[in-house]
Structure 1
């Protein structure tokens, strides 16, 4: 493996080891190599390796105990709300199954957030949703317009407008997974204008103080994304079965 020479050595090692664990290169059965071996493999100091081990332990991927070495923890202990862990999972294979689980989480959170935003009627917060929507509409009208970032801003603005601090603290988790999810669902939808129009319906319900309609419109959008992902999963499973 090439030696790591850039400034933030610990973070780079954390990133490489995290991906290796999630991709199954290191397992609960095999564990990680010793600190000395990792130092040799990456060409960095033991201090940097120990810092990387601490970061991975904080994410739930490993545990380190005296005389027991570095143990890889089972997947059900990983902190999936950690944006790095989520990103590594989404970059792994099969990421579509992770996306399906993510959409199930969104269904539990975002429709309720939209309803709360409509009920609260915080005009300053709703104005931020409007800005994101206007950017989406502008991108949809432009031949080469990029709707992606405005779409992310729309959803995080609704989390903020809900007034629920727990919802808003999920914004990085939502943005990280949406970054990948949109890459699958936008081509399936086929029209940027159709995407912007659906988001407008959510915004309009929030602006008009219609909690139930806001909830239903958000549920519809996420359900539709779920159907695209489930179709893609079914196609891949069919292809694999035919091999």
Structure 2
């Protein structure tokens, strides 16, 4: 029981320290407080602090070596594919710039995943895409309908349908950033039926076994999201 309590406390401290590192409260210059200081600040045991340090080290945010103590790592060493790190980044002030980089990653992966799904033609996997699309279309017909979860499911299902295990292993990364990205792009588009229609075109190309069209439709959809994010960035910079 004590072990479980320590782990929960460690997760809370990991979350607090992770966010603080991401926003620069702790950096390569300042470092982190000592174990003893962290115990005092958070009112927890050394065991809980060490658990938190291990978690942060696994995420690439810090390193801990004998005789060197705890060192904060530079941003290029952070594990951006860790969903916690990505979430903290997206919650930080430069989130729009992170979203732009994320969309660039999507452009490199999802059009190819859609093309592979069309070429592979796995009917069970394509049915999963259709199931998500059906929920999106149903939500689009309702004034208060929410498309968020089926939208995430749609993109995840395409990664699965591609048959590429490396693509599918990125599903948590894609879902985490899409969760934030959709909140920016859906209100900007303002038309749920149009959004559902765009997703239908991707699905239709995959279901029809047309890899090139599936790739192009997915590219178009992500390019459109990129245009919204770039406009938000431009507006933000102009206002500064």
Determine if the TM-score, normalized by the shorter chain, exceeds 0.5: yes
Query: Gapped runs of 5+ residues in structure 2?
Result: none
CA distance in 1, matches of 2:103, 2:175: 12
CA distance in 1, matches of 2:238, 2:217: 32
Match of 2:106 in 1: 106
CA distance in 1, matches of 2:183, 2:51: 34
Match of 1:48 in 2: 48
| CA deviation after TM superposition for structure 1 residue 69, in Å | 1.7
TM-score for both structures, normalised by structure 1: 0.96
Residue 9 (structure 1) aligned with residue 9 (structure 2): yes
Any runs of at least 4 consecutive aligned residues in structure 1 with deviations exceeding 6 A, and if so which? none
SS at match of 1:130: helix
SS at match of 1:71: strand
Match of 1:38 in 2: 38
Residue 163 (structure 1) aligned with residue 169 (structure 2): no
Match of 2:197 in 1: 197
Residue 227 (structure 1) aligned with residue 227 (structure 2): yes
TM-score for both structures, normalised by structure 2: 0.97
Contact 2:6–2:48 under 8 Å retained in 1:
no
Residue 23 (structure 1) aligned with residue 23 (structure 2): yes
SS at match of 2:63: strand
The RMSD of aligned alpha carbons is: 1.0
CA distance in 2, matches of 1:164, 1:117: 9
Query: Gapped runs of 5+ residues in structure 1?
Result: none
Q: Deviations over 1:86-122 (max 9, x none)?
A: 0000000110000000000000000000000000000
Match of 2:127 in 1: 127
